[in-house]
């Protein structure tokens, strides 16, 4: 549960990224690929659902929404970015800072939703 010392974040992802999270013991996000200079967790579940359902699932066959807590004081170093509409909010973590970001995750990363391509 969220308390004043942590910030709840969500991350939509596909099966390959989720497998790497699982391999970490549900404690860390994998390094970014060369064409991914930014790790961007999102600030609300609805936005994460939209990405997982509308983008990850059609592309990868399945999309997941994950939720995790990060130390609030640490997270405040990353200004909230509005990536579209009023509720399209993300943190932009440079790829080279992801290891440090992972060290500030509190608890485990958990899957909260799953979306399958062509699901009725």
List pLDDT tens digits, range 58-105.
Answer: 999 999 999 999 999 999 999 999 987 788 899 999 999 999 999 999
Full domain range(s) for residue 95: 6-115
Contact status, residue 10 vs residue 41, Cβ threshold 8 Å: yes
Nearest to 102 by CA among 7, 13, 30: 30
CATH number for the domain including 58? 3.20.170
Number of domains in the chain: 1
Determine, yes or no, domain membership for 67: yes
Query: Rounded to two decimals, what is the model's pTM?
Result: 0.91
The yes-or-no verdict on residue 2 having pLDDT over 80 is no
Percent of the chain with pLDDT over 70: 96
Determine, yes or no, domain membership for 61: yes
Determine, yes or no, domain membership for 1: no
pLDDT-derived band of residue 118, with 50, 70 and 90 as boundaries? confident
Distance CA 38, CA 7 (A): 19
Determine, yes or no, domain membership for 33: yes
Determine, yes or no, domain membership for 120: no
Determine, yes or no, domain membership for 23: yes
Determine, yes or no, domain membership for 57: yes
Q: What 8-state DSSP symbol labels residue 42?
A: B
Average pLDDT, the chain: 93
Determine, yes or no, domain membership for 36: yes
């Amino acid at each position: 549960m969220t308390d004043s010392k942590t910030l709840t974040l969500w991350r939509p992802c596909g099966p390959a990224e989720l497998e790497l999270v699982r391999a970490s013991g549900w404690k860390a996000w994998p390094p970014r690929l060369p064409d991914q200079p930014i790790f961007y967790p999102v600030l609300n579940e609805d936005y994460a659902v939209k990405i997982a359902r509308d983008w990850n699932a059609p592309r990868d066959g399945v999309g997941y929404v994950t939720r995790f807590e990060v130390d609030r004081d640490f997270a405040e170093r990353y200004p909230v970015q509005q990536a579209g509409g009023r509720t399209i909010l993300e943190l932009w973590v440079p790829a080279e800072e992801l290891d440090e970001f992972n060290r500030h995750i509190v608890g485990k990363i958990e899957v909260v939703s799953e979306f399958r391509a062509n699901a009725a």
